[in-house]
Structure 1
Amino acid sequence: MNSLEEVLSCWKQYDWEEKLKKVFKKNVKLVDERIECLKNTREKTSIWKLTLSDGQEFIPIVLKIYKQPLKENHRLEINMYQKAYNIYQEFMPKLYLLEPNVNGNETWMFTECLQPLRGQIKLAPKHLEQIIPTVAKFHAITFDKRFLQHADLFDSSLPFFDSEEKVKERTKGIKKAKENLDLAMKDPNLKELVAPRYKMIKKILKKGPNFFPEITETGQCLIHGDLHVHNICCEIANDGVENWKVTLIDWESAKHYPCWYDLAVLVELLIDFRSDWQKSEEEIRRKCVQVYCQEMLKYGITFKEDPLNLLKKAYLQRTLEKKLSSHLQKVLDGGKSTLLKRYLEKIEVWGKELGLY
């Protein structure tokens, strides 16, 4: 666990003030009393918000400290900044410094501090139309065979949907879902919710681990992998700005996957959480898919199958391979899940619509 004293000590020891002076092309000083710890865990990462001053204005920056031994997702994010930043910098925070071997074996990374989308505006369905063009542009760079042009930018830490490791992971998740469904039938808090769909879902799970091969066949690319609103930043987000400058943060979950996984998180999870959106959910997802396809067409990309079905299939694949088991487990352990009911309902409705049972 990193401490404030350690941050201040390393700041002086590694002369980061002088290095950042070259980055900003002006003298900057760290404002000690405005250092803020955003996250600090012993085994994972430590994240700090630092404030610099040039004597006239304050400049916030983010410090992210990666501890050894590096987990695969941390190595992946470092790799994104070390090697892939040149082609993805439009979508990422500005990288100021990346310093390895701090305190012996830690990596310290200084990046731009961006304005989160949340807090700037009350998110409405129409605002997704401002975010999706950036997502499409990002996807298009490595879509399908285009990935081969940039494959050398990624090391073994990049997960691939079709890899043996990921197939095993999905198989394990489906096995766990079956076990948790059986336990749910004995649990008074879950039986009433699960029982009407129990046989149907067990039947569907037998078709795994890849329920819809077509979502991979119609195109894979580098995806963000965790595209919820907490990881979306915007320079100015209001209805008076026509084209938002959208940037994505937290690249630990990037992977080479079907592009629709990102849309399933961005669009469908927002609908699942927002009960006020659910009355018009069909209209919302149809519009989002339309905008995405229009943007992808600008880069010469089209889809062989109905894109709306591809979104639904990606959502179901994601749910059946992992999310169903984890949310059942959460309730079995005595917690609550606001998403479980929605997962079960969509498996039932979309599963029938898409021929899973």
Structure 2
Amino acid sequence: MNSIEEILSRWKQFDWEKKLKNVLGKKVKLVEERIECLKNSRERTSIWKLVLTDGTEFIPIVLKIYKLPLKENHRLEINMYQKAYYIYHEIMPRLYWLEPNVNGNETWMFTECLKPLRGQIKLAPNHLERIIPTVAKFHAKTFDNQFVRHADLFDTSLPHFDSEEKVKERTKGVKKAMENLDLAMKDPNLKELVEPRYKIIKRILKKGPVFFPEITKSGQCLIHGDLHVHNICCENANDDEENWKVSLIDWESAKHYPCWYDLVVLVELLIDFRWDWQQSEEEIRSQCVQVYCQEMLKYGITFSEDPLNLLKKAYLQRTLEKKLSSHLQKVLDGGKSTLLKRYLEKIEVWGKELGLY
């Protein structure tokens, strides 16, 4: 594990105050007593919040430490800051400095520290309508043919939905879901939940691994891939401001995928977690899709199929190819899943509605 003492030692060794002075355009000093650990796992990444001062104001920055050899998702995130920032600078933190070969096997990256959305406001459904315009603007930059225009900005490790690797991954996930369904029928903690839908879901899974080719045909682009509220920042999140200045952080899960996958995480999974939203879920879902389509239209992008159905299809595709098996496994291993019941219910209801059985 990285430590405060190590950060202080390396700070002096690499003379980062001088380097950051050149980047920020003013002399700064590290406030040693305000170093805060946000996440620390030596085998993966360590994340720290540092505070600099120029003598009159405090400047928070983020230090992210990656251990070498870089994993593909870490290499991808670094690439996003080094190259793709060129087109996403409005919605990404600024890269201040990247130092390779620290401690011989680590890369240390210093970025702008943006204001998290969480803690500023209690998230209500109407707040999603102030986040979605930024998501649409982000998607539009690489939507379909626009991606080719910017392809040189992305690392070769960028996952693609229709790549051979992802096809194998989906095939494996569907097979694992079928195996776990069978195991669930023998498990006293799961049988009662799974049994009423067992035959239907087995029948659906046999149609995989791609259940809805139309979500791919509806348009692919660079997506964030992990677009939950923890990864959303905003400089002016309050009910008096209609046009929020939204930014996105944590780019490790970026990929070239159907655009609706981001909406699944931002909207649909939030509904799944928020029981207090579920009585109005159809209204929330429809309004969010309408706002997204209105924003995409500003960039000349339309959808030939009902967008609400595309969101539902992306949700089911994501669930059937990966999430169903992993949440079944979690319970089979003795853990708990707050989403499994919702997954099973929506596979049954939306599966019938969308013609899977």
TM-score normalised by structure 2 residue count: 0.99
- What is the DSSP-based 3-state SS (H/G/I as helix, E as strand, rest coil) of the residue aligned with 2:247? strand
1:79 to partner: Cα distance: 0.8
Rounded to whole Å, the distance in 2 between the matches of 1:132 and 1:179 is 37
- What is the DSSP-based 3-state SS (H/G/I as helix, E as strand, rest coil) of the residue aligned with 1:233? strand
Q: Which amino acid aligns with 2:61?
A: I
Match of 1:284 in 2: 284
Rounded to whole Å, the distance in 2 between the matches of 1:211 and 1:165 is 17
1:63 to partner: Cα distance: 0.2
**Are positions 1:348 and 2:348 aligned together?**
yes
Preserved contact between residue 82 and residue 95 of structure 2 (Cα < 8 Å): no
Unaligned runs of 5+ in 2: none
Match of 2:297 in 1: 297
1:106 to partner: Cα distance: 1.6
Rounded to whole Å, the distance in 1 between the matches of 2:126 and 2:331 is 33
- What is the DSSP-based 3-state SS (H/G/I as helix, E as strand, rest coil) of the residue aligned with 1:250? coil
Match of 2:170 in 1: 170
Match of 1:91 in 2: 91
1:218 to partner: Cα distance: 1.0
1:104 to partner: Cα distance: 2.0
Match of 2:111 in 1: 111
Match of 2:192 in 1: 192
Name the % identity: 86
Residue by residue over 1:168-200, the C-alpha shift from the partner in whole angstroms, topping out at 9 and shown as x without a partner, is 001111111011100100111110000000000
Taking the TM superposition and a 5 Å limit, the aligned residue runs for 1:213-224 are 213-224=213-224
Preserved contact between residue 95 and residue 112 of structure 2 (Cα < 8 Å): yes
Q: Which amino acid aligns with 2:10?
A: C
Match of 1:66 in 2: 66
Aligned-CA RMSD value:
0.7
**Are positions 1:141 and 2:147 aligned together?**
no
Q: Which amino acid aligns with 1:325?
A: S
Match of 2:332 in 1: 332
Residue by residue over 1:324-354, the C-alpha shift from the partner in whole angstroms, topping out at 9 and shown as x without a partner, is 0011111111111110000000000000000
Residue by residue over 1:134-155, the C-alpha shift from the partner in whole angstroms, topping out at 9 and shown as x without a partner, is 0000000000011000111112
Residue by residue over 1:227-267, the C-alpha shift from the partner in whole angstroms, topping out at 9 and shown as x without a partner, is 00000000021101120000000000000000000000000
Rounded to whole Å, the distance in 2 between the matches of 1:216 and 1:164 is 15
Match of 2:14 in 1: 14
Rounded to whole Å, the distance in 2 between the matches of 1:105 and 1:179 is 40
Rounded to whole Å, the distance in 1 between the matches of 2:71 and 2:284 is 37
Match of 2:37 in 1: 37
Q: Which amino acid aligns with 2:98?
A: L
Match of 1:82 in 2: 82
1:94 to partner: Cα distance: 1.3
Rounded to whole Å, the distance in 1 between the matches of 2:231 and 2:154 is 22
Q: Which amino acid aligns with 1:273?
A: F
Q: Which amino acid aligns with 1:192?
A: E
Q: Which amino acid aligns with 2:55?
A: G
Taking the TM superposition and a 5 Å limit, the aligned residue runs for 1:40-51 are 40-51=40-51
Residue by residue over 1:241-295, the C-alpha shift from the partner in whole angstroms, topping out at 9 and shown as x without a partner, is 1200000000000000000000000000000000110011000010000000000
Which 4+ stretches in 1 moved above 3 angstroms? none
Residue by residue over 1:298-336, the C-alpha shift from the partner in whole angstroms, topping out at 9 and shown as x without a partner, is 000000100000000000000000000011111111111
1:69 to partner: Cα distance: 1.6
1:105 to partner: Cα distance: 3.1
- What is the DSSP-based 3-state SS (H/G/I as helix, E as strand, rest coil) of the residue aligned with 2:65? strand
Q: Which amino acid aligns with 1:280?
A: S
Rounded to whole Å, the distance in 1 between the matches of 2:199 and 2:14 is 61
1:30 to partner: Cα distance: 0.3
Rounded to whole Å, the distance in 2 between the matches of 1:30 and 1:154 is 33
**Are positions 1:270 and 2:270 aligned together?**
yes
Count of matched residue pairs: 357
Unaligned runs of 5+ in 1: none
Rounded to whole Å, the distance in 1 between the matches of 2:6 and 2:85 is 28
Q: Which amino acid aligns with 1:70?
A: L
1:100 to partner: Cα distance: 1.6
**Are positions 1:238 and 2:238 aligned together?**
yes
Rounded to whole Å, the distance in 2 between the matches of 1:106 and 1:286 is 46
1:55 to partner: Cα distance: 1.1
Preserved contact between residue 92 and residue 248 of structure 2 (Cα < 8 Å): yes
